[in-house]
């Protein structure tokens, strides 16, 4: 190991390293998750109601709870608010907070550290 490598190792020893990952983000509630949503969302073409399968007329189909017409799938429901579509996007995982985030500046805002994204620690 060169002196330069050793200096870099010492410099990064206590830094948190975020990993780039695919995450699911909800524009409505702002939550971000690593877990792919599984609950489909439907929109009624007749009355415009947006609902999940569990909120359907019979509790297990894509039949509108308001007008009983069958509806079209429009995406996957956010696991937090369950009323908006969760979109797949590029994001990051912060191992210190154990959360998924969209913005790489999470480290500077939450931990007072310059961002270190995807950089591997030495000796690991």
Q: What is the pLDDT of residue 124?
A: 33
Joined tokens for residue 105: 């500046």
- Tell me the C-alpha distance between 15 and 110, whole Å: 13
Q: Which tops the pLDDT comparison, 107 or 79?
A: 79
- Tell me the C-alpha distance between 30 and 45, whole Å: 27
**Worst-scoring range by mean pLDDT, 37-51, 59-73, 84-98?**
84-98
Q: What is the pLDDT of residue 13?
A: 59
pLDDT digits (tens, 9 = 90+) for 3-53: 665 565 555 556 777 788 899 998 888 899 988 888 899 999 999 999 988
- Tell me the C-alpha distance between 121 and 108, whole Å: 18
Strand ranges in 1-124 using DSSP code E only, listed in sequence order: 19-26, 32-33, 40-43, 50-52, 72-76, 86-94, 99-101
**Share in percent of the chain as helix, strand, coil (round to 5):** 15, 30, 50
Give 117's pLDDT tier (boundaries 50, 70, 90): low
């Amino acid at each position: 190991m060169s002196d330069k490598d050793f200096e870099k190792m010492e410099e990064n020893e206590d830094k948190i390293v975020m990993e780039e990952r695919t995450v699911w983000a909800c524009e409505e509630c702002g939550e971000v998750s690593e877990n792919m949503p599984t609950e489909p969302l439907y929109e009624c073409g007749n009355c415009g109601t947006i609902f999940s399968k569990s909120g359907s007329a019979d509790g297990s189909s894509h039949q509108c709870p308001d007008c009983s017409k069958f509806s079209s799938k429009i995406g996957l429901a956010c696991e937090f608010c369950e009323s908006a579509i969760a979109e797949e996007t590029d994001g990051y995982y912060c191992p210190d907070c154990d959360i998924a985030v969209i913005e790489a500046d999470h480290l500077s805002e939450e931990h007072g550290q310059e961002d270190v994204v995807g950089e591997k620690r030495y000796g690991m």
